Amino acid sequence: MTLKGMTWVCAFTMAEILLSLTIIGVVAAITLPSLTGNINERTWNTQRKALYARMSQAIPLMGSVNGYATAETFVTAGLSKVLKINNICDHDHLEDCGIASKFVKLNGSTASIPTKMSELNSRIVNMSAIGEGGESYSYSQEDSDAAAFETVNGESILIFYNGKCVPALDETRVTYFQTKLCANLVYDLNGSKGPNTIGKDMGYLSIFYPTDSVIVSPYPMMRSLSAQYPQDEAGAACTNMDSEYRLPNKEEMASIFVNTFLIGDGSETVLDALYWTSSVISSTKAWYFWLESGYANSDRARTQNMSVRCIKR
């Protein structure tokens, strides 16, 4: 029946409005953390690459990066001349440069931030081993203290320094990277503000060789691949997992060795394996790396099977 002169008005009831708002709130609660996390990941990745680019430009301007007495003097007398730095902190005042006392490793475990070279990796300070070819090797250096600095871009950086690092000699058989490491930087892109996690707002950057320095900042996958591969198939095995994964070169594998504590995978199985690198000697031979000792060797046929650990750059 139609009533003349009357207008029908349609509207939601209060109960319907409250139900709709509840549904929207639930959906937002589920999706917003994921969206925020993705935004943070992209931001950190951009900042990480920008920091790496600035360091890659600054280090060559220093000339030689060895010969400084301590990590603090390396920054005050050397790095600060070629890189814009806001604040420099000695070993006893690292927190004044935004260095958090605790951090989360790549494997998800929490640990105290290392403040001495031996805490970063004891095998850098003192190490003895016998190489695959029977070569005996021992190495010892002072257990140096870390220093810290803040950049004008807001990064907090913890620095470990070896003032006696040596050049990359023309070694075609074997080398130990303890002597080649000049500095290792552990950075936090937003200072002590969370999440203070390796692979997110934190990472590391290694500098090898005093002149013509090689600067690397690899992000390794947590575990090596389950199967072994010939060297010329190892790179494809990485990219088949993820298009961003690559086979590390010998300096990148050395950086993983230096920063094993930060990564958090120090199991005997992982350290004792021999890993291929992308550093090729010839059409038949390539460098491989032994994580237990920092030992790299070029005398291995590329057709042989070895373990593979992939990285993102």
Region 146-152 average pLDDT: 97
Provide the token pair at 21: 């708002």
How far from chain centre, in Å, is Cα 34?
Answer: 24
Residue 103 in 3-state DSSP? Answer: strand
**What residue segments make up the domains of the chain, in order of their start?**
43-312
- Answer yes or no: is pLDDT of 11 > 80: no
Q: What is the greatest pairwise CA distance in the chain?
A: 106
Count Cβ atoms below 10 Å from residue 7 Cβ, excluding itself.
5
Give the dihedral of Cα atoms 238, 243, 249, 252; nearest 10 deg. -100
195 upstream amide cis, omega within 30 of 0: yes
- Report d(CA 281, CA 266) in Å as an integer: 29
Please check whether residue 306 is in contact with residue 277, taking contact to mean a CB–CB distance below 8 angstroms: no
- Report d(CA 240, CA 151) in Å as an integer: 37
Provide the token pair at 218: 């690899």
pLDDT at 41: 85
Q: Residue with structure tokens 């042989």?
A: 304
Burial class (CB in 10 A: 0-12, 13-18, 19+), 6: exposed
How far from chain centre, in Å, is Cα 295?
Answer: 19
Greatest mean pLDDT range, 30-39, 87-96, 256-265: 87-96
Sequence-separated (6 or more) residues with CB below 8 Å from residue 252 = 216, 218, 277, 311
- Answer yes or no: is pLDDT of 129 > 80: no
- Answer yes or no: is pLDDT of 173 > 70: no
- Report d(CA 217, CA 208) in Å as an integer: 11
Please check whether residue 277 is in contact with residue 250, taking contact to mean a CB–CB distance below 8 angstroms: yes
pLDDT at 135: 67
Residue 163 in 3-state DSSP? Answer: coil
Element (H, E) at 28: helix 14-58
Region 168-196 average pLDDT: 86
pLDDT at 21: 74
Reported pTM: 0.86
Q: Residue with structure tokens 């032994």?
A: 290
Give the dihedral of Cα atoms 224, 230, 231, 236; nearest 10 deg. -70
Element (H, E) at 149: strand 147-151
Tens digits of residue pLDDT in 186-205: 999 999 898 999 999 999 99
- Report d(CA 208, CA 127) in Å as an integer: 18
44-48, 70-74, 140-144: least confident range: 140-144
- Answer yes or no: is pLDDT of 16 > 70: no
Please check whether residue 217 is in contact with residue 256, taking contact to mean a CB–CB distance below 8 angstroms: no
Q: Residue with structure tokens 């989360």?
A: 104
Tens digits of residue pLDDT in 40-65: 888 999 999 999 999 999 999 999 99
